[in-house]
Structure 1
Amino acid sequence: MLFPTNRHLWPIFNSAITWLLVLLMTLAGTGLIMPILAQEKPTAPIILEGRTLFYVSESGQYTAERRANDANNQLQKILAQNQPPITVNLDTTKDVPVIQIQGAYLISVTSNDVPTGRTLQEQAILWKNILEISIRKAEYERTPQYLIKSTIIAIVVLFITFIISWKLGVFWQRFLKPSEKKDGATSPSLTPPSTQPLTAIPQTTSSKINLGFLILLIVIRGIIWICSLFYISHLFPQTREWSQDVIEILKVSLITDIFPLGNDRYSVLDFFILAGLLVGLVLLTQTVSRILKSKLLSATGLNRGVQDTTALIVNYTLIFLGTIVVLQVWGLDLSSLTVFASVLGVGIGLGLQGIAKEFVSGLVLIFERPIQIGDFVEVSGLMGTVERIGVRSTEIRTLDQVSVILPNSRFLESEVINWSHYSPISRLKIPIGVAYGSDLEKVKEVLIETAKSHREVLSMPSPQVFFVEFGDSSLNFSLLVWISKPYKQFQIKSDLYFQLDTKFREEGIEIPFPQQDLNIRSSELPQTISPDLIESLAKLSDSLATWLDKNSQNSNPQDQVKKIDD
């Protein structure tokens, strides 16, 4: 394959996002990322048909917004008259330079408009040149030639955008999406996940990776279309004004401080920055814990459960400490939230008692290790392999290949059978009964040979047979065998029963079914019978015999039986 699969691309993508967000956190901490309105003095833009030409400041009793609005309205009014050529003049006879358009006042250049190192005259000439160039450009954009040219450019840009978006979809279908079948879709098997190769990527992980690339594809497509539409909107004066209005609305909505928190107020943009910093923190801590587990802890030779626990504790600790640092860097004064945090802590403590209970139980399971990942356990009627032990819950994969999430306290409050504790070798007890009169030595020989012939039955300890009892209908035996794979116990029992049935038939050994003897004790009948009863029974017998003779002559035996039934 010419392109790497998603299992190779995903770590690169994840690391890139992580370090990008870390860079943003660093920039935020050093103060290089400043709010849009965080300037020394308020300014307002001079706009001509959607293009920002320059910014003006407040002057005396006139605010920057009022000065800009007056100048913008004057420019729009003159352009709407459509009387070229439009002239721009500079009047330097007054105390401050005045820019005129078509002989009418447009705006004055004050000392607040001049940056450091530039004179009033230089600033006025600069603004005059910008206005002249922009007006000439605006006049040209109103000609039919420009409109036709811009329309053709817009169509070409839309076509190129469509082709790029389509090619990205083809790339996804051909090189990324099929890897879901290769990496995640595995044939169903009765073998528990713990016995499968460790190099196999779980299906859930592969699904998450493919979902991540799908979201990335959608984001890239959206960015391409937004950039194309933004470029097309700037080709035409009318749409340029609309897009400028939309940008201004979004800008004001994002940067206006409307959310009070502590002693300060924050904007929507501030919360977006905070969310980005927290996401970067989570990705960074995951990367650190993954490196810690794969590079450092794996070299220590510790148990897999201990490695997972250590990495998990380090991850949560880094997230907690990092969150405090991020909130401080973001500008939130945590000391102002002391009372609120105390009340919230009490409420959380009362409402999350169950979670705290499961958390403590999880720590006991992790450090005491009565169960470990890969153990085959039975708890509350569920049998399966332990797949994950978390601080709140434990995941068990049952024999039906169903994941069951159990609270950690269940393993401490109820009886748990751990078939793999210290040693996976366990004993199976297989009861069986034979009929009375069977050759018991032959029965014992068949049971031992059948058990030894099964490939999952261990030869040491060797199978044993015990004569349990004389049952009501059978002679009851118990076959004891040892196995090293407890999760296969039901399959092994089934195989042994099948083989024993075949062997017993071959050897003539009968497997009885339950039998019961019913003894009826006769009671004495009355010694005298009523003469009327004897006479009635005789008449009934004669009538029945006559009716049977008559019907036997007119019908076949089947009809006769049917009529008798009727």
Structure 2
Amino acid sequence: MLANWNKKTWFPNSREVFMSRFRRFRIIIIISAIALMIVLTWFSTSQMSVQAQGRPTSVITLDGRRLFEVSQSGQFSAENRAADAKLILKAAVRSTEPAKVEIVESNELPVIQVNGRHLLTVTQQDTPPGRTKQEQAQIWVQQITEAISQGQEERRLGYLWRAILFAVLSVLGAVALHLVLGRICRSWLRRLVPRAANDPNTGAQPKGIELFVQLTLSLVHAGLWLGTVIYITDLFPLTREWSQGIANILWMSLTSPIISLGEKSYSVINIIILIALFFGLVAVTGAVTNLLRSRLLRITSVSRGVQESIAVIINYSLIFIGTVVLLQIWGLDISSLAIVASVLGVAIGFGLQGIAKELVSGLVITFERSIEIGDFVQIGEFMGTVERLTARSTHIRTLDDITVIVPNSRLLDKEVVNWSHRSPVSRLVLPVRVAYGSSLSIVRSALLEAAKDNPDVLKKPAPKVWFKAFGEDSLNFQLLVWISQPRKQFQIKSDLYFQIEEILRHRHVQIPFPQRSLHLQSGNLPLELSPTLEKSLSQLSEVLTAWLKNQSQSDNLNGSTKSSKNQTKQ
């Protein structure tokens, strides 16, 4: 019982529980995207304020560990002071003897010495407000002593063996965790994706869910191995120093200004954060639009096409407004982008004519509402139901369950047959031929009976039978019926023809075969020849007769000669 309860609890089969979990999953994504946007905005603004208001400082490190920062002092820059201090600390940490760190007074300033060597002088620029120079020197001495002791300990053989053991264990643990996470992800996908695919009412896209889970798993794997590498490099002093140097180089390359707009400069990390915020904005607006479509617009009485049009307009409006607000918060002057906008306009005019044409066509179709979601249309050789209207194209699900993507401009440039425009009721015309001699009343009643028995044929307007014409070998009728499901018109025609054939056969009404009559008459053809042609033909006849006579005589002579020779031989 406990096993069954756990199975039902963690792997429910009911559609309601699955939809609730999917909605919760979607809400978590929206909240995470909003939180990410807030964090990235705070981080970027704080970094920009620090860059704008910070003073020139340099960090003193030992074996890749950060100790403290020093400022410029007189003619000595912060970088020079930090570089000299690093050299003295490296020499002290490589020694096997305990380091002697002390403070001496020089010109009323505390001077820190390591093993009798001058490390640095603590000045007023190095001291934060509310703290004296002596107090700052005492704090730095304590930090330097602990760092040197730790560095000497990490260079002993016992520590190196322990670090190697921890590194091997961390790699094995990362491999095991990598495999476990992959197995859990695949097991979860096998349970989730088939349910989403088999339940059309959930609104979930199996491909989208699978892509999201795979992307999340890849990020988790990348974070796992990155953390493992960072942990291993932090175990050894040499690798820690190398990784710190590489990190500093990368950070400097990412934070160095590369683009200047107006009075402000932006680095690579600023651009990356801006792009991430924009994609977060697109994700949030898409989620808000989906919630609006599924929660608010669905309960209204407007049609599905109008709902989709409203959702598209709201989506693009939110993206536009959010982009403007995001650029303003980021510190960009919108007026400074006028040149970029003009260049973009020229590019659209020359290089992006096709895309611009499709976008304008999409807007015209959206506002004109001549084609809406759910309409059954015929565009050229394609006939199907409109499943989706996008800014560039229209997706049509054909009768063969194949999605055809049609550019929006084609819907405006060519004729489109919309069977569902304003009203889904449409008329079908079924030609019927019967043999001569059939009772017209029987034929008419038979056709009306077949239309009445079909459940897909509407009662109002009522079916009609038209006597079309007297044909060459048949009486031609037309059965007119009205239907409300244009997508099923071919199935309805087939069912009606089956019923018509059965009823006509039971009432002994014959359906004629095509007939053709061919009459042949013998006689002489009245030909008139000219005298010259008759003379030529007679001469030709005489020549042929003489040649045939000579040929026969020569054959007879040769035969007699052969027979005489045979007799002589005998």
| Cα gap change, 1:439 to 1:297, in 2 (>3 Å) | closer
State the partner residue of 2:518: 517
| Cα gap change, 1:520 to 1:240, in 2 (>3 Å) | farther
State the partner residue of 1:269: 269
1:23 aligns with 2:38: yes
Do the aligned residues in 2 keep the contact of 1:257 with 1:265 (CA within 8 Å)?
A: yes
| Cα gap change, 1:496 to 1:336, in 2 (>3 Å) | closer
Percent identity between the two aligned chains? 43
State the partner residue of 2:421: 421
| Cα gap change, 1:451 to 1:38, in 2 (>3 Å) | same
Q: Distance in 2 between matches of 1:514 and 1:363?
A: 56
Do the aligned residues in 2 keep the contact of 1:37 with 1:255 (CA within 8 Å)?
A: no
State the partner residue of 1:548: none
Provide the TM-score with structure 1 as the length reference: 0.81
Alignment of 1:446-525 (within 5 A): 446-500=446-500, 507=508, 509-513=510-514, 515-517=516-518, 519=520, 521-523=522-524
Q: Distance in 2 between matches of 1:335 and 1:459?
A: 64
Instruction: In structure 2, give the amino acid aligned to 1:96.
Output: L
Look up the SS of the partner of 2:109 in the other structure. coil
1:155 aligns with 2:151: no
Instruction: In structure 2, give the amino acid aligned to 1:2.
Output: W
Q: Structure 1 stretch 300-309 or stretch 52-61: which is displaced more?
A: 300-309
Name which one, 1 or 2, has greater alpha-carbon Rg.
2
Do the aligned residues in 1 keep the contact of 2:430 with 2:480 (CA within 8 Å)?
A: yes
State the partner residue of 2:5: none
The match for 2:147 among 113, 119, 134 is 134
Do the aligned residues in 2 keep the contact of 1:17 with 1:280 (CA within 8 Å)?
A: no
| Cα gap change, 1:307 to 1:466, in 2 (>3 Å) | closer
| Cα gap change, 1:521 to 1:98, in 2 (>3 Å) | farther
State the partner residue of 2:260: 260
Q: Distance in 2 between matches of 1:503 and 1:147?
A: 97
Instruction: In structure 2, give the amino acid aligned to 1:115.
Output: P
Look up the SS of the partner of 2:383 in the other structure. strand
The match for 1:44 among 46, 52, 58 is 58
**Matched residues, number:** 523
Do the aligned residues in 2 keep the contact of 1:24 with 1:277 (CA within 8 Å)?
A: no
Q: Structure 1 stretch 112-121 or stretch 356-365: which is displaced more?
A: 356-365
Q: Distance in 2 between matches of 1:299 and 1:435?
A: 56
State the partner residue of 1:395: 395
Do the aligned residues in 1 keep the contact of 2:378 with 2:417 (CA within 8 Å)?
A: yes
State the partner residue of 1:2: 10
Q: Structure 1 stretch 65-74 or stretch 439-448: which is displaced more?
A: 439-448
Q: Structure 1 stretch 83-92 or stretch 294-303: which is displaced more?
A: 294-303
1:461, distance to aligned residue in structure 2 (A): 4.1
Instruction: In structure 2, give the amino acid aligned to 1:201.
Output: G
Q: Deviations over 1:39-63 (max 9, x none)?
A: 5311112121111111121222222
Q: Distance in 2 between matches of 1:511 and 1:246?
A: 91
Do the aligned residues in 1 keep the contact of 2:392 with 2:408 (CA within 8 Å)?
A: yes
1:521, distance to aligned residue in structure 2 (A): 4.7
Do the aligned residues in 2 keep the contact of 1:433 with 1:512 (CA within 8 Å)?
A: no
State the partner residue of 1:75: 89
State the partner residue of 1:143: 156
1:126, distance to aligned residue in structure 2 (A): 1.6
Provide the TM-score with structure 2 as the length reference: 0.81
| Cα gap change, 1:426 to 1:173, in 2 (>3 Å) | same
Do the aligned residues in 2 keep the contact of 1:28 with 1:330 (CA within 8 Å)?
A: no
Look up the SS of the partner of 1:92 in the other structure. strand
Q: Distance in 2 between matches of 1:483 and 1:68?
A: 87
Do the aligned residues in 1 keep the contact of 2:308 with 2:373 (CA within 8 Å)?
A: no
| Cα gap change, 1:520 to 1:447, in 2 (>3 Å) | farther
Q: Distance in 1 between matches of 2:151 and 2:282?
A: 50
| Cα gap change, 1:442 to 1:354, in 2 (>3 Å) | same
Q: Distance in 1 between matches of 2:302 and 2:447?
A: 43
Instruction: In structure 2, give the amino acid aligned to 1:76.
Output: K
Do the aligned residues in 2 keep the contact of 1:373 with 1:389 (CA within 8 Å)?
A: yes
Q: Distance in 2 between matches of 1:310 and 1:532?
A: 98
Look up the SS of the partner of 1:45 in the other structure. strand
Q: Deviations over 1:220-251 (max 9, x none)?
A: 22112212221121111122112111211111
Q: Deviations over 1:422-466 (max 9, x none)?
A: 332222212233455556555555544444444433444444433
Do the aligned residues in 1 keep the contact of 2:92 with 2:148 (CA within 8 Å)?
A: no
1:305 aligns with 2:313: no
Do the aligned residues in 2 keep the contact of 1:44 with 1:64 (CA within 8 Å)?
A: yes
Look up the SS of the partner of 2:74 in the other structure. coil
Question: Structure 2 stretches of 5 or more lacking a match?
Answer: 1-8, 12-16, 528-537, 553-570
State the partner residue of 1:173: 186
1:59 aligns with 2:73: yes
Instruction: In structure 2, give the amino acid aligned to 1:56.
Output: V
Instruction: In structure 1, give the amino acid aligned to 2:39.
Output: L
Q: Distance in 1 between matches of 2:167 and 2:546?
A: 116
Q: Distance in 1 between matches of 2:428 and 2:400?
A: 21
Q: Structure 1 stretch 346-355 or stretch 318-327: which is displaced more?
A: 346-355
Q: Deviations over 1:383-435 (max 9, x none)?
A: 11122234544322211222223344444443332222333222221223345
Do the aligned residues in 1 keep the contact of 2:96 with 2:152 (CA within 8 Å)?
A: no
The match for 1:102 among 101, 111, 115 is 115
Q: Distance in 1 between matches of 2:461 and 2:301?
A: 31
Look up the SS of the partner of 1:97 in the other structure. strand
Q: Distance in 2 between matches of 1:98 and 1:297?
A: 74
Q: Deviations over 1:185-219 (max 9, x none)?
A: 57xxxxxxxxxx7x2426xx331122112211211
Q: Distance in 1 between matches of 2:412 and 2:394?
A: 12
State the partner residue of 2:559: none
Instruction: In structure 1, give the amino acid aligned to 2:27.
Output: I
Look up the SS of the partner of 2:257 in the other structure. coil
Q: Report the structure, 1 or 2, having the larger helix content.
A: 2
Look up the SS of the partner of 2:232 in the other structure. helix
Q: Deviations over 1:310-347 (max 9, x none)?
A: 23223222222221221121122233333443444455
Q: Distance in 1 between matches of 2:302 and 2:434?
A: 52
Do the aligned residues in 1 keep the contact of 2:60 with 2:66 (CA within 8 Å)?
A: yes
Q: Deviations over 1:102-142 (max 9, x none)?
A: 22222222222221122222222222221111111111111
Instruction: In structure 2, give the amino acid aligned to 1:149.
Output: R
State the partner residue of 1:379: 379
| Cα gap change, 1:16 to 1:95, in 2 (>3 Å) | same
The match for 1:118 among 131, 134, 145 is 131
State the partner residue of 2:321: 321
Alignment of 1:194-343 (within 5 A): 199-201=201-203, 205-298=205-298, 300-343=300-343
Do the aligned residues in 1 keep the contact of 2:473 with 2:512 (CA within 8 Å)?
A: no
1:252, distance to aligned residue in structure 2 (A): 0.6
Do the aligned residues in 2 keep the contact of 1:469 with 1:475 (CA within 8 Å)?
A: yes
Q: Distance in 1 between matches of 2:504 and 2:521?
A: 36
Look up the SS of the partner of 1:324 in the other structure. helix
Look up the SS of the partner of 1:127 in the other structure. helix
Q: Distance in 1 between matches of 2:140 and 2:212?
A: 49
Q: Deviations over 1:53-82 (max 9, x none)?
A: 1112122222211221222123223444x4
| Cα gap change, 1:201 to 1:325, in 2 (>3 Å) | closer
Q: Distance in 2 between matches of 1:345 and 1:456?
A: 53
Look up the SS of the partner of 1:132 in the other structure. helix
1:35, distance to aligned residue in structure 2 (A): 6.4
Q: Distance in 2 between matches of 1:177 and 1:34?
A: 46
Q: Distance in 2 between matches of 1:418 and 1:336?
A: 47
Look up the SS of the partner of 2:372 in the other structure. coil
